[in-house]
Structure 1
Amino acid sequence: MATLDTRHLVDPELAPLLDAWPNVELSVEMLPAIRARSLPRPPAPPVDVRFDRMEAPGRDGAPAVPLHVYRANGADGALPCILHLHGGGYVAGKASELTDIHRALAADLACAIVSVDYRLAPETCFPGNVEDCYAALDFVMREADALGLDRTRIGVMGESAGGGLAAGLALLARDRGEHALAFQHLIYPMIDDRTCTEPPHPTAGEFIWNRAKNVFGWTALLGHAPGGADVSPYAAAARATDLAGLPPTFISTGALDLFVDEDLLYARRLIAAGVPTELHVYPGAFHAFNLVPGARTAQQSNRDSREALRRALHG
């Protein structure tokens, strides 16, 4: 089933992002330029947040994992913490791109945020990426007292590919049994490689992140073509056959996002498995729509996300 022309379905307040977003297809040759680009951000207000660069020891001889650590000043007692995994299709993105956002969020939520610079594909294929994220989780849990963190209130968050890594990490943490996550917070998560091979929803995936980019990202992560029989659920969380015992979950996505079907199905399966799950689908919204600061749909999405985080962190 072919993707339809869905421009008329786009929320008009979100449309400016479509004109501003670089319309390029992904390739190995393009990756250096894509990784070097910077997206414009609005000026960040001053906040009382401490910032530190740290490293988590790599697992099984892997390199140390760089971390950006933000901690709100002035809070009483140990801080709750968000372990954040950035997006970028598994092939791009870095923690430093989110500095202003994370400083403001840490101040607003009176929490700590640990942002992980995991290794990117295709230079590092699965499982190196999710193992970097697990190394970061292990470090945060083991060093919680020294960092002033409450290890009973540490959860994982990510957008797009970062949401996919967050979901995979939640499964990995559950199955290894070493550390208990308080929540998983998934923003239009990229969790199912089979979306590359199955007919897409006819109104999904025309903008920002399309099927061709999805095939590139999943191929880079897996090191082979997506959609095969033996893909690990720690790479593609939707592959997991048992979702019981996962932490309370927040999922949000756009109705026009390529990932809308896989995200809806994952939420449905979490609910069926007895996992407390909050789900939001925003009409007229495509991938990365919440980056449009003046659009009411983006503002609502960001409010919903922030308030869910507040409840997860502070009860």
Structure 2
Amino acid sequence: MSRPALDPELNTLLAGMPLVQEITPELLTDLRGMTAVPVEPLLAGRALNRREITVPVSGPVSGPVPGQEGARIPMTILTPTDAGAEPGDRAGAPCVYWIHGGGMIMGDRFSQLDIPLEWLDRLGAVVVTVDYRLAPEAGGTTPVEDCYQGLLWLAEHAAELGIDPDRIVVAGASAGGGLAAGVTLMARDRGTPALAAQVLICPMLDHRNTTASSRQYAGDPGVWTRETNVFAWKALLGDLPDDQVPAYASPARADDLSGLPTTYVDAGSAEVFRDEDVEYATRIWAAGGQAELHVWAGGFHGFDALFPEAALSATARRTRTDWLTRTLTRPEPARD
């Protein structure tokens, strides 16, 4: 199939990057080691407090993961400092709950962390980033349930963390975007916590791989191909029939997208997830919800995370940050 052309600058940058057509179990082991991100360079020079915690999680609704009863998930809390103030002294800050990407098969809570750190810098937002158990060791709804349990802990401790409970945003990239969508559906259906917004960056939403964009990005090496996508979803879901896949794991399967918080969705025109992301935003509008959608011409999957200095990446990141600024800015109180 023919494909949209890549942005010329991104195309040049991509030429120097090793690409694969399909991840295998053997390659996954290597990639997990290669994708571990040291967080210290990202935090260096920033005025913030860092706190590490672990949160106990129960198993998913289908039952606990064998051998992982009593599991705890790590979370990192990053709070901007105000002239030496302690984190709990900063009442009313917005909060970004960050869920990392990696196809639900790799990555950790520091992956793509530079994206929400921009929001910490610009908005004074508290950033809470969560680890979740990865497939294939933990499949089904386990990753999204882990993320939801972390969100519940965050909401319950909002006052202690100096967070405005009315300005909590769930955000993530790629698989993290799909998990953010799943967590948001859970929060709606279970009645807690209230969310101000969800930010879905090139989200991984649909296990079925039936779209035109999925078929376009097959047969050749790439950043994230149809073949790799099939591998990742199978790692998560095994051989579960389509009609039994929970919508919390594959949010495109949700019958009802009403009642969701305001939503930001973006993707590249030259990536596997393009069409499922456009469809998700379209269905939010159809349900009477509010969504802002951007499809960046010539962008491949994760372009702005891999090459943030590129012109198209800078535009995409600035546009996303401007939207979040508008969404989280409190209106000025009325004057008499």
* Aligned twin of 2:207: 193
> In the alignment, which residue of structure 2 is the partner of 1:245?
259
Q: Residue in 2 aligned with 1:97?
A: 111
Given candidates 48, 52, 67, the residue that maps to 2:75 is 67
2:282 to 258, 262, 268: 268
The 1:20/1:132 distance shift into structure 2, 3 A limit, reads: farther
- Partner residue in 2 for 1:36: 33
- Aligned pairs (5 A) from 1:216-255: 216-224=231-239, 228-255=242-269
DSSP-derived class of the 2:52 partner: strand
SS at match of 2:205: coil
Structure 2 match to 1:9: 5
Match of 1:21 in 2: 17
Structure 2: 5+ residue stretches without partners: 60-68, 331-336
Mean Cα deviation higher: 47-56 or 138-147: 47-56
Query: For residue 14 of structure 1, what is the amino acid of its counterpart?
Result: L
User: Are the aligned partners of 2:215 and 2:226 in contact in 1 as well (CA < 8 Å)?
Assistant: no
| CA RMSD, Structure 1 to Structure 2 (Å) | 2.2
Question: Alignment partner for residue 121 of structure 1, among 132, 135, 138?
Answer: 135
TM superposition shift of 1:274: 1.2
Separation in structure 2 between the aligned mates of residue 58 and residue 102 of structure 1, nearest angstrom? 24
CA positional deviation for 1:311? 2.2
Contact 1:56–1:64 under 8 Å retained in 2? yes
Q: 1:283 to 1:30 in 2, by over 3 A?
A: same
What per-residue deviation string (whole Å, max 9, x for no partner) do you get for residues 294-313 of structure 1? 32111110001111222233
Identity score, percent: 40
8 Å contact from structure 1 (residues 70, 102) kept in 2: no
How far residue 105 of structure 1 moved from its aligned partner, in angstroms, is 3.3
Deviation of 1:257 (Å): 1.1
Shift of 1:185: 0.3
Which amino acid in structure 1 is aligned with residue 45 of structure 2?
Answer: P
Mean Cα displacement is larger for which, 164-173 or 94-103? 94-103
Q: Secondary structure at the match of 1:209?
A: coil
Kindly provide the amino acid, as one letter, of the partner of residue 11 in structure 2.
A
Contact 2:104 2:232 in 1 (8 A): yes
Match of 1:303 in 2: 318
C-alpha displacement of 1:52: 1.2
Mark the runs of 5 or more structure 1 residues left unpaired by the alignment: none
Preserved contact between residue 255 and residue 284 of structure 1 (Cα < 8 Å): yes
- The separation in 2 between residues aligned to 1:243 and 1:29, in whole angstroms, is 38
C-alpha distance after superposition, 1:43-64 (max 9, x if no partner): 7562211111112221255411
- Which AA in structure 2 matches 1:11? D
Residues 1:215 and 2:212 aligned together:
no
Distance 1:16 1:53, change over 3 A: farther
1:267-297 CA distance string (max 9 Å, x none): 1000111111100011011101113123211
Q: What is the one-letter code of the residue matched to 2:34?
A: R
Once residues 201 and 120 of structure 1 are traced to their aligned partners in structure 2, the CA distance between those partners, rounded to angstroms, is: 23
Residues 174 and 95 of structure 1, relative CA distance in 2, 3 Å threshold: same
Instruction: Indicate conservation of the 8 Å contact 2:98/2:116, yes or no.
Output: no
Give matches, 1:37-186, under 5 Å.
37-38=34-35, 46-60=45-59, 61-74=69-82, 77-186=91-200
Distance 2:327 2:70 in 1: 32
Q: In the aligned structure 2, how far is the partner of 1:187 from the partner of 1:99? A: 13
One-letter amino acid of the counterpart of residue 256, structure 1: A
TM-score after normalising by structure 2 = 0.85
TM-score normalized with structure 1 length: 0.91
Deviations 1:108-133 (A, max 9, x none): 22111111111110000021111100
Equivalent pair of 1:49/1:106 in contact (CA under 8 Å) = no
